[in-house]
Chain A
Amino acid sequence: MQAVYVLRLARKNLWRHRLRSLLTIAGIAVAIVSFGLLRTVVDSWYAGASLSSAARLITRSEASLSFPLPVTHAARIRRVAGVAAVSWANWFGGVYIDDKHFFAQYAVDADSYLELYPEFVLPPEQRSAFQRDRRGVIAGRKLARKNHWQIGDTIALKGTVYPGNWSFMLRGIYDGADSKVDENQFLLHWDYVNETMRALLPSLADGVGVFVVNIHDPSQAAEVSAAIDSTFRNSLAETRTETQKAFQLGFISMVDTILLAIQTVAYVVVLIIMAVMANTMSMAARERTREYATLKALGFGHGFVSMVILGESMTMSLVGGVLGIALTFPVAQAFFSATRDLFLVFQVEPLTVLLQLGSALLIGLCSAIAPVVNSRRLVIVDGLRAVA
Chain B
Amino acid sequence: MTEALISIHNLSKTYRRGNQPVPVLLGIDLQIAQGDYVSLMGPSGSGKSTLLNLIAGIDKPSGGTLLIGGVDIAALEEDELAAWRAGNVGFVFQFYNLMPVLDAFENVELPLLLTHLSKAERREHVEMALAMVGLPDRMDHRPNELSGGQQQRVAIARALVTDPTLIVADEPTGDLDRKSADDVLDLLDRLNRELGKTIVMVTHDPRCAARARTRIHLEKGVLLSRGAEH
Contact = CB atoms under 8 A, between A and B. Distances in A.
A380 B58 contact: yes
A102 interface: no
A384 B114 contact: no
Interface stretch (B28-36, B37-45, B94-102, B195-203): B94-102
A2 B106 CA distance: 12
B97 A294 contact: yes
* Main DSSP-derived SS at the B contact region: helix
B53 A301 contact: no
Contact of A290 (B97, B102, B113): B97
B102 A16 contact: no
A16 B101 CA distance: 8
Given A12-B102, A13-B101, A297 B56 contact: yes
Given A298-B110, A380-B58, A16 B100 contact: yes
B215 to A, nearest CB: 24
A296 interface: yes
Contacts of A197: none
Interface stretch (B85-93, B123-131, B218-226): B85-93
Given A294-B93, A298-B91, A381-B59, A5 B101 contact: no
A296 B82 contact: yes
6 contacts: A291-B100, A297-B56, A301-B79, A301-B82, A380-B58, A381-B58
Contacts of A381: 53, 58-59
Contact of B101 (A9, A290, A298): A9
A75 interface: no
Contacts, number: 56
B85 A5 contact: no
A13 B58 CA distance: 25
A300 B79 CA distance: 9
Nearest to B101: A12
A1 interface: yes
B83 interface: yes
Interface in A258-305: 290-291, 294-301
Interface in B158-200: 158
Contacts of B93: 294, 384
A299 B100 contact: no
Interface string A129-165: 0000000000000000000000000000000000000
Given A1-B113, A300-B82, 15 more contacts: A5-B110, A5-B113, A12-B101, A291-B100, A294-B99, A296-B58, A297-B56, A298-B110, A298-B111, A299-B85, A300-B114, A301-B82, A381-B58, A384-B58, A384-B97
A301 B113 CA distance: 12
A5 B114 CA distance: 11
Contacts of B87: 299
Contacts of B86: 298-300
B169 to A, nearest CB: 13
A385 to B, nearest CB: 9
Interface string B105-116: 010001101100
A380 B26 CA distance: 22
Given A296-B82, A297-B85, A299-B85, A380 B111 contact: no
Contacts of B85: 297-299
Contacts of A13: 101
A384 B52 CA distance: 13
Contacts of B91: 294, 297-298
B102 A291 contact: no
Nearest to B52: A381
A344 B53 CA distance: 70
Nearest to A5: B113
